[in-house]
């Protein structure tokens, strides 16, 4: 094998595609300190900021998804696609990757299509229990497909599938030793139960509205709340920081401490969140977003709830939230059952397993 290897990684749009990509890069860097890395993302998306923060170079493509309704963006989609395929081809020609890895998101489509055309071995990492259209298309030419759920032969060639799980932040593997540290980091009362509310990096309107309407209810329950409301909503909700036992955060930089300090977690059901929560092993109430492609968040949450590892509450049923929540809060046995069952579904060695597959392609 040649001395220096070049690794091309594409993934973005949301934290759920970016953080797995960075985790894979970090593990590869440990094994190949002299390797060169290049990320490809979508211009104006959060990867253009998050990837350089993690210490990697990134190039941006002019690409976005197709909207479900007729919009000006849809009319420009064919031009964006042609432009992205052409630019991806140029990037690949210049960088000469030995392998190309896609973790999902708009840019990974054109990038991996061109890598396949140029005969570069490709690996895709599918985080969801129900794959999006891009990965279904890419799977035909991909060498390997790393998945986190069972029964994906319905969508992908069975001989290429390897069940690895989703990469998660390494600092979550030891959160059970960080409870005290987490509570003092967030200045919490050690005698009160802590509720952690997560709506994803941008935020979730329905979850934020739910918390806002239940502030008085939380007070009556005697709980304290760490509320990550997201970038889009922080200005609107930061005023509630004045209420005792309520903390509103735009973003949580120490997720390990937030998880460690919490007793019950209310969360969206994006693939990365679900994988993290399996490792964290706390009682979870999933409120999946119904507005994502193929409703995959509901499918992710169902796959856990069906194994009694979490409670699933649809957005259309939010009026029942106070009853569901209070019942869980008062039932210690239920809390510990959910904890045990969700932990059973964790795949903590996912990053290592995926990088083992990448190594096979390099050799």
CA 100 to chain centre: 20
Are 72 and 92 in contact by the 8 Å Cβ rule? The answer is no
Which helix (H) or strand (E) segment is 39 a member of?
Answer: strand 36-42
Give the list of residues 6+ apart from residue 108 with CB closer than 8 angstroms, or none.
Answer: 10, 11, 12, 17, 40, 102, 124, 134, 138
Contact between 270 and 242 under an 8 Å Cβ cutoff? The reply is: no
169 is in an annotated binding site: yes
Within its chain, how far is the Cα of 15 from the centroid?
A: 5
Cα angle 231, 236, 240; round to 5: 105
Q: 327 among the known binding-site residues?
A: no
Annotated ligand binding at 128? The verdict is yes
The answer to the question of whether 297 is labelled as a binding residue is yes
Query: Does 335 show up as a binding residue in the annotation?
Result: no
201 carries a ligand binding annotation = yes
H or E element that contains 84:
helix 72-95
**Residue positions in the annotated binding site for UDP-N-acetyl-alpha-D-glucosamine?**
14-16, 128, 169, 201, 297
Known binding-site residues equal: 14-16, 128, 169, 201, 297
């Amino acid at each position: 094998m040649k001395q220096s290897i070049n690794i091309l990684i594409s993934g973005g749009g949301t934290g759920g595609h970016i953080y797995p990509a960075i985790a894979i890069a970090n593990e590869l860097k440990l094994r190949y300190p002299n390797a060169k890395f290049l990320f490809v993302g979508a211009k104006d998306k959060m990867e253009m900021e998050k990837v350089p923060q993690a210490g990697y170079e990134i190039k941006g493509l002019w690409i976005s998804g197709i909207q479900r309704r007729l919009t000006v963006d849809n009319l420009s989609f064919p031009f964006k696609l042609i432009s992205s395929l052409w630019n991806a081809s140029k990037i690949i020609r210049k960088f000469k990757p030995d392998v190309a890895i896609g973790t999902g998101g708009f840019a990974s489509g054109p990038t991996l299509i061109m890598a396949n055309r140029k005969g570069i071995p490709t690996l895709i990492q599918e985080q969801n229990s129900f794959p999006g259209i891009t990965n279904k298309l890419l799977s035909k030419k991909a060498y390997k497909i790393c998945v986190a759920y069972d029964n994906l032969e319905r969508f992908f060639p069975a001989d290429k599938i390897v069940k690895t799980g989703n990469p998660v932040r390494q600092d979550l593997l030891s959160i059970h030793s960080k409870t005290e540290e987490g509570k003092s980091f967030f200045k919490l009362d050690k005698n009160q139960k802590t509720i952690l509310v997560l709506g994803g990096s941008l935020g979730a309107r329905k979850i934020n509205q739910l918390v806002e309407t239940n502030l008085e209810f939380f007070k009556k329950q005697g709980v304290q709340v760490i509320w990550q409301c997201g970038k889009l909503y922080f200005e609107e909700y930061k005023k509630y920081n004045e209420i005792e036992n309520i903390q509103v955060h735009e973003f949580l930089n120490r997720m390990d401490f937030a998880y460690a300090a919490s007793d019950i977690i209310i969360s969206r059901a994006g693939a990365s969140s679900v994988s993290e929560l399996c490792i964290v092993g706390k009682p979870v109430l999933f409120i999946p977003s119904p507005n994502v492609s193929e409703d995959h968040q509901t499918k992710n949450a169902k796959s856990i709830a069906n194994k009694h590892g979490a409670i699933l509450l649809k957005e259309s049923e939010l009026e029942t939230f106070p009853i569901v929540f209070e019942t869980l809060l008062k039932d210690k046995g239920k809390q510990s059952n959910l904890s045990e069952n969700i932990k059973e579904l964790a795949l903590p060695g996912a990053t290592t397993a995926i990088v083992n597959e990448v190594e096979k392609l390099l050799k």
